[in-house]
Copies of this chain bind each other. A is one copy, B any other.
């Protein structure tokens, strides 16, 4: 007898499951129910409608129901809300949103892929006003875009500085809006650590985005938002992008097990607590390969893999399931930022012992056009050297370094393993010793106690405590901008002037990007200095780390002039 497969939700996870099931079984009856007006649209491209990069919002729709019918023999029903699951009878109840009519469909296997809802806290005053928007689908972005146009909105407040918030902010700037990006936490882009986030914040700030941190939204008015601090920001339109909450109501009502993280609990093959019901996509909780705990990861790539796996299991095809790593990338104006694995905050939470390396190589050979500094942070387990995460920020091709690290994590690689990696090099693409080689070599040195380092995050404290900091750049570089109380002994004079350096206290060294200071540390150690410490990230890292807060707060500057190149 032909299998009957019903699927709740018609975007990434749902459409993926349906297509895979059809490929595995030409005779199955497959029906996909979508509450919205469209199946299979590009969620991730939604923000690009606001700048006109995607001109027509209909272009966001990848496959219409008729194509699903023609190409896959899949019955895709839009404006159809699944309102109830009758597990005993193995049926669902579907409400036609146009007419209100409710009908019943029976299933052999049911797949839940309802996704996640943008959070809209009712504690915020005015949150239900007509000028407050959340973005989940094509209708939402169309509505926002039209509202802004029709009401001549000039000032927009985007609440929440995650991926969607930053993308919406940038696209509004490209559309000549005044944009405030408001974040309750002390940094933008939570997948990045505080140090890396500073670079992104600087870029947003440099491009005219009013980045407001550590200040949650409390009230929306017709022409302004009010924050917890009392600060008021002009805004005729407000976009809430403070996260999503898995849409588990249907599953909960059916008595399916919900995990601790709030997502539907699934097994290795994405089967829920009912053996005939699967769940995939943003609604489920997944297993973190690195943290070894349950988590949620609302991303398109994993959703597609889960969809395939669920369909496979319906047809008894075994699946691999490595747990999730979590890899993502964003463009913020002229900078790209990508991350994989866990960051420092997450590793502390998971109680995993780690150390990290922050290097700033050039992304291409310096002679080539568009060669730029690549800020690269590699996090590894101590003492094993196993790679736990990486973050990269720069104007160039940062995602290729992160993709390598994501693959390394998948394969349980250690920093020693990657010192031998052979990545594509030509002057227009990379350097002979690229960020992957270099960061893993530095990590290997650190693991073997060849030298010590201190991160850029500690430099302000060092300066304030009058630590001995030696800047080993050449005089002209020092004069162009330096740490206020650093002593300048260029590497080229270090050996002959080593006598000037005291043996009885810690000596902190930095140069521009860490290369020369690394040589200087080893030279001094070789001359009997036993308390020499490299400042990882060096002056370039310090400049990026200090700049944004120097511009947006009234604290004391610790550098005379910044250096960003």
Contacts and interface: CB of A to CB of B under 8 A. Distances in A.
A423 interface: yes
A72 interface: yes
A62 to B, nearest CB: 9
Contacts of A518: 23
Nearest to A424: B329
A44 B365 contact: yes
Contact of A367 (B48, B407, B427, B519): B48
A117 interface: no
Contacts of A27: 526
Contacts of A406: 421-424
A424 B401 CA distance: 10
A359 to B, nearest CB: 16
Contacts of A70: 491-493
Contact of A330 (B369, B404, B426, B491): B426
A27 B527 CA distance: 8
A421 B410 contact: yes
Interface in A404-441: 404, 406-408, 410-411, 413, 416-430, 432-434, 436-437, 441
A440 to B, nearest CB: 11
A426 B406 CA distance: 15
Interface in A312-362: 320-322, 324-331, 336, 338, 340
Contacts of A330: 426
A426 B320 contact: no
A418 B48 CA distance: 30
Contacts of A437: 301, 304-305
B519 A399 contact: no
A327 B369 contact: no
B407 A519 contact: no
A253 interface: no
Interface in A278-325: 299-305, 308, 320-322, 324-325
A302 B421 CA distance: 9
A417 B410 contact: yes
A522 interface: yes
A413 to B, nearest CB: 6
A226 to B, nearest CB: 32
A486 interface: no
Contact of A399 (B59, B299, B429): B429
A424 B327 contact: yes
Given A410-B420, A424-B399, A426-B331, A519 B72 contact: yes
Contact of A45 (B48, B327, B365, B493): B365
Contacts of A304: 432-433, 437
B367 A59 contact: yes
A526 B25 contact: yes
Interface in A478-498: 491-493, 495
A178 interface: no
Contacts of A495: 73
A123 interface: no
Interface in A8-66: 12, 19, 22-27, 42, 44-45, 48, 53-54, 59-60
Contacts of A163: 426
Contact of A423 (B22, B301, B331, B427): B301
Contacts of A423: 301, 327, 399, 403, 406-407
Contact of A422 (B410, B420, B430): B410
Contacts of A418: 407, 410
Contact of A426 (B329, B403, B523): B329
15 contacts: A23-B519, A23-B522, A25-B526, A44-B365, A44-B432, A67-B492, A301-B432, A302-B422, A320-B416, A336-B429, A338-B429, A399-B400, A404-B404, A407-B413, A407-B423
Lowest 3 CB-CB distances: which A-B pairs, in order? A26-B526, A400-B400, A70-B492
